[in-house]
Amino acid sequence: MIAGVVTGVVYGLGVRGVAKLPFRTADWLIWVMSVAFVFVVPFSMGYLAVAVKARTERVSITARLFLPWVVVLLTLLASALTLWEGAICIVMIAPIALVFGSVGGLVAGAVVQPSRPQAATMSMLCIAMLPFLVGPVERHLPPAADIRTVESDVVVHASPRTIWENIERVRRIDISGLPNSWNRRIGFPRPLEASLDREGIGGVRHATFAGDVLFLETIDTWEPERRLGFSIRADTHHIPSATLDEHVTVGGPYFDVLHGEYILAAGSDGDTILRLISRHRVSTDFNWYARLWTDAVMRDVQRSILYVIKNRCESVPR
């Protein structure tokens, strides 16, 4: 069992090392943001870990399911310690890697027979090569852009005028004024402030986040006390490489924030419903999975912003 774990971990780290090579050939074979890496590599790791043991004896269903988990988690831990992956990517890849690792373990347990060690060895070699066969095929299937819309709203016990004053410009946010947020715990920067160079359509908001992340927001909808909309462009040239993992950089090839809009609507008893709507782009070979995370992150960021606005507005006497 130990030999299986070591085999799976060494294999996983070896493939990650190949994906980091600067050579164009290596990039053609395997890259991190691919089905070959995110799905097939964990499958292969799980298969190899269980197959090593299954070559000599039958492996229980429990071991087929959870031995690959040990391999996947140790590999992710090693990737974090070597700074090959940031916390954000590790958290996002872990659930799907555990699932496909178990699938690989189940397949190995069903296919590999102790009575046929040579066939078992051949199957292990084929499975080890599988990501490098899937990768080149995947290169010919460019990822489609998926435009996502996320809406959040909150009831504010304040007038539209007070709320408008707190959304057209957002004064500096102290960390103590923010709610608990899971996305900040895994490395996403926190919102700091938003300035406005001039009022009206064409005005530009500078929305800054921790880690020198800046969004330039050009106003395209200006209806005082009703609607405030703006297109968003990340200032990618000045975002330090250490702030966000290269695979989740805003404005990069895989993810971008495109538009934001505040809408104010009358509520009951003189309250105001404040809605924040954002659009973002996801461009991966596995958008069906990636968008689960991007939607969740955007919703969590919006929840934090609305939390701050609500508390500030409600602290103003009506």
The whole-angstrom separation of Cα 139 and Cα 212 is: 33
Same domain, 38 and 155: no
Residue 24: predicted pLDDT:
63
Same domain, 177 and 281: yes
Residue 173: CATH number of its domain? 3.30.530.20
Same domain, 158 and 27: no
- Judged by average pLDDT, the poorest of 112-116, 167-171, 235-239, 306-310 is 235-239
Residue 249: predicted pLDDT:
78
Q: Quick: pLDDT tens for 190-229.
A: 999 999 999 999 999 999 998 888 999 999 999 999 999 9
Instruction: Assess whether pLDDT exceeds 80 at residue 178.
Output: yes
Same domain, 161 and 301: yes
Among candidates 1, 48, 38, 35, which has minimal Cα distance to 16?
38
Tell me how crowded residue 268 is: count the other CB atoms within 10 A of its CB: 7
Q: Quick: pLDDT tens for 71-110.
A: 999 999 999 898 888 888 899 999 999 999 999 999 999 9
Same domain, 156 and 114: no
- Torsion sign across C-alpha atoms 182, 186, 192, 193: negative
As beta bridge partners, residue 173 has: none
Q: Quick: pLDDT tens for 233-268.
A: 988 776 666 556 667 778 788 999 999 999 999 988
Q: What does pLDDT average to over the chain?
A: 91
Instruction: Assess whether pLDDT exceeds 80 at residue 33.
Output: yes
- Check: CB of residue 283 under 8 Å from CB of residue 143: yes
Residue 268: predicted pLDDT:
86
Q: How large is the C-alpha radius of gyration of the chain?
A: 24
Determine the angle formed by the axes of helices 117-139 and 41-54, rounding to 10 degrees: 180
Q: Quick: pLDDT tens for 260-309.
A: 999 999 988 889 999 999 999 999 999 999 999 999 999 999 999 999 99
Residue 185: predicted pLDDT:
87
Q: Dihedrals φ, ψ of 205, to 5°?
A: -90, 140
Among candidates 75, 76, 98, which has minimal Cα distance to 88?
76
Same domain, 177 and 296: yes
The whole-angstrom separation of Cα 35 and Cα 224 is: 46
Residue 34: predicted pLDDT:
92
Quote the domain boundaries for residue 132. Answer: 2-139
Residue 240: predicted pLDDT:
63
The whole-angstrom separation of Cα 152 and Cα 179 is: 15
Same domain, 179 and 90: no
Instruction: Assess whether pLDDT exceeds 90 at residue 28.
Output: no
- Judged by average pLDDT, the poorest of 2-11, 172-181, 233-242 is 233-242
- Report, as an integer, the average pLDDT of 123-135: 95
- Specify the higher pLDDT residue, 27 or 63: 63
Domain final residue pick, 139, 171, 205:
139
Same domain, 131 and 162: no
The whole-angstrom separation of Cα 128 and Cα 81 is: 24
Domain final residue pick, 114, 139, 164:
139
What is the count of structural domains for the chain?
A: 2
Residue 244: predicted pLDDT:
62
Same domain, 77 and 122: yes
Same domain, 52 and 7: yes
Distances (CA, A) of 148 to 204, 205, 255, 279, 287: 23, 22, 11, 5, 10
Tell me how crowded residue 125 is: count the other CB atoms within 10 A of its CB: 10
Same domain, 132 and 153: no
Domain final residue pick, 88, 123, 139:
139
- Check: CB of residue 211 under 8 Å from CB of residue 192: no
Burial of 49 (0-12, 13-18, 19+ CB in 10 A): buried
Same domain, 211 and 263: yes
